[in-house]
Structures are given as C-alpha cells and as structure tokens.
C-alpha cells in the first residue's frame, strides 16, 4: 500500500524568532502555515489541518478578536487558500473525506468551512476544552469560533473512538499513546500535549518512510533535533509548560531512535524549503534553517 504525503503552504504569520526558540534571532521572521494533503488508497483524500483563509481577517476585524491579528500579523493570498492549493493537484474540495485537526488555533482550521463533505477527526479532549467557551474565553485559548462550521459536531469523529489504541508492545512511538485510525497501521493519531489541551499529531507510514506531522509541538525542526525550548514569554500562551517539555523531550528521543522518521512541524522554514513544492510564500526572511 502506498500512501502519499504532500506539504502545502497556506499563508504565513510574523513572529520574533527568539520567541519560539531560545537561541533564535532577535528579528521578526516569517513562519509558514503548513498543512498536509494525504492520499490513502482506500480512504481517499485526507487533510492534516487547513492553513489560513481570508476568513481569519473577517473573524479578527473587531475587538477583542482584533488582538489576535495584532499579535500574529498574518499574510494570506488567494493562491494560498487550501482549495486553490488542492486545485493545483487536481483535487476538488468535495473530494476531501477527512480533515485531521491538530488543534483549534486559527492558522490550522481557518479553511474548514471550504470542505462541506469532510468528516473532522480530532481528540476528544481538544474539542471538550473549547466547545462551550465564551467569546472571550475562546480568544484567550487562541480560538475563533466563527471559523468552525455550524454542523461541526454532526461531522465530528474522536480518534479515541474511531481508531484502535495501539498496544504498548507494538507501539514504535515510545512514551506516546497512539490510535490506529483506519486499523491498517498507516495513520496513527498521537496526543502531543502542551501547546494546547488535546493537541495531536499524526504519524503517516507511507510504506517507505514515516512522516510525523507534529503540528505546533514546536515551531522549528531544530527544536526537536537539539531539544531547544522556546523563550519564556511563549509559555504564557501554552496550555501546559510541563507537558510541552515532556512532549518535546519524547520527540527528541524518537528522532534519535528511529532512523526513517521525518518530523514535520507546521511552521518550520526548513520543512517549507525542503518539502513544499510550488511555493507561494516568498522564501525571504523565513525562520532560520
């Protein structure tokens, strides 16, 4: 069975590099907002997150949501939209069967409303953490409820229920729990807590290589390789500093222990340079490789 994983860029935001990695530059740089298209021979077309969409600007027009846009200035062009990126691959939005949501920050879910037929796969904890929050309560979690489709709950699948929990003895992801989504070993949903409550990644085994889509477990691949933590202010927006530390430490151990595993954080300039074809975001001033 051959599974394909394609990295796509869906706009970018600007951040001080030092915020996301301790030895980063004291310079405002671009962080691409990556999402991934996966083709599974039996399950069809699948997305891991969606990148930004113009809805982010609509959702942050007024206060208090405007604070979000001021803290992370976002650039998204028509060509960056997930529907247009997929169009370039010959895939129509209604052909997407599943969208795996790493977490509910806007840069990961802003285009959910473009995919009417997709089922949403998410961790139960992530959804329970945000579903009944007030407008302000959502904002402090970095969530913009207007980006979530009205019929979201009708289309929702919790991976802890749809998948099969991988037995500890069979689990190559030592230290992490994992759920085998389609019970064929091809795609494992993996809780990677810390960044947000219920934040999750996806291990995709293409048959040749293992791609570990780690979402915002860190912002740069170098953080995993060298076990580099973010600067202190970054902890203010984290769900749990302790869980973040533990997750990054386990990812670092996996990276060292499994040769054919490729770690793919969603905002890494290195992943962008290496994996994204047909780039629409300018490489200039990208976070350092």
Of 19-27, 41-49, 86-94, 210-218: span binding Zn ion (CB under 5 A): 210-218
Q: Residue 103 CB, nearest distance to Zn ion (Å)?
A: 6
Which of the ranges 77-85, 100-108, 174-182, 248-256 carries the binding residues for Zn ion, by CB under 5 A?
A: 100-108
Please report how close the Cβ of residue 72 comes to Zn ion at its closest, in angstroms.
10
Q: Does 105 bind Zn ion (CB under 5 A)?
A: yes
Distances, alpha carbon 61 to alpha carbons 37, 57, 68, 71, 144, in Å: 30, 6, 10, 13, 12
Nearer to Zn ion, 30 or 105 (CB): 105
Q: Is 216 in the site for Zn ion (CB under 5 A)?
A: yes
When asked if residue 141 is in the footprint of Zn ion (CB under 5 A), the reply is: no
Nearest residue (CB) to Zn ion, 172 versus 237: 237
Which span sits near Zn ion by CB under 5 A: 15-23, 29-37, 200-208, 214-222? 214-222
Q: Which is nearer to Zn ion, 142 or 163 (CB)?
A: 142
Cis peptide before 34 (omega within 30 of 0): no
Q: What sign results for the dihedral spanned by CA atoms 197, 36, 90, 52? A: positive
Question: Cβ contacts of residue 155 below 8 Å, gap of 6+?
Answer: 118, 119, 120, 149
- CA max distance for the chain: 51
CB 175 → Zn ion: shortest distance, Å? 22
The SS3 of residue 71 is helix
Nearer to Zn ion, 97 or 228 (CB): 228
The shares of helix, strand and coil residues in the chain, as percent rounded to the nearest 5, are 35, 25, 40
Residue 68 Cβ vs Zn ion, minimum distance, rounded to whole Å: 12
Per-residue mark of binding to Zn ion, 163-202 (x: CB under 5 A): ----------------------------------------
Closest-by-Cβ residue to Zn ion is: 105
User: Cα 181 to chain center, whole Å?
Assistant: 17
Non-local CB neighbours of 200 within 8 Å, separated by 6+ positions: 100, 102, 103, 122, 123, 126, 159, 189, 190, 191, 192, 215
Residues, the chain: 289
Interface ranges with Zn ion (CB under 5 A): 105, 216
């Amino acid at each position: 069975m051959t599974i394909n994983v394609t990295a796509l860029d869906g706009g970018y935001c600007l951040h001080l590099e030092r915020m996301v990695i301790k030895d980063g530059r004291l310079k405002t740089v671009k962080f691409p907002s990556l999402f991934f298209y996966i083709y599974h021979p039996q399950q069809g077309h699948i997305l891991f997150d969606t990148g930004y969409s113009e809805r982010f600007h609509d959702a942050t027009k007024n206060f208090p949501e405007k604070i979000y846009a001021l803290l992370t200035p976002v650039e998204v062009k028509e060509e960056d939209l997930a529907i247009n990126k997929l169009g370039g691959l010959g895939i129509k939005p209604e052909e997407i069967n599943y969208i795996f949501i790493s977490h509910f920050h806007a840069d990961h879910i802003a285009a959910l409303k473009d995919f009417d037929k997709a089922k949403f796969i998410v961790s139960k904890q992530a959804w329970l953490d945000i579903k009944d929050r007030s407008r302000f309560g959502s904002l402090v979690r970095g969530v913009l409820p207007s980006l979530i489709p009205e019929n979201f709950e009708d289309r929702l699948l919790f991976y802890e229920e749809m998948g099969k929990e991988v037995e500890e003895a069979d689990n190559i992801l030592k230290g992490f729990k994992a759920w085998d989504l389609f019970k064929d070993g091809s795609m494992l949903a993996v809780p990677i807590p810390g960044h947000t409550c219920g934040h999750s990644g996806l291990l995709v085994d293409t048959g040749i290589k293992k791609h570990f889509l780690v979402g915002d477990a860190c912002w740069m691949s170098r953080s995993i390789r060298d076990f580099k933590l973010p600067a202190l202010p970054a902890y203010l927006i984290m769900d749990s500093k302790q869980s973040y530390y533990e997750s990054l430490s386990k990812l670092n151990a996996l990276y060292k222990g499994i040769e054919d595993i490729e770690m793919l954080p969603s905002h890494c300039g290195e992943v962008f340079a290496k994996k994204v074809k047909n780039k629409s975001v300018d490489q200039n001033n990208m976070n350092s490789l």
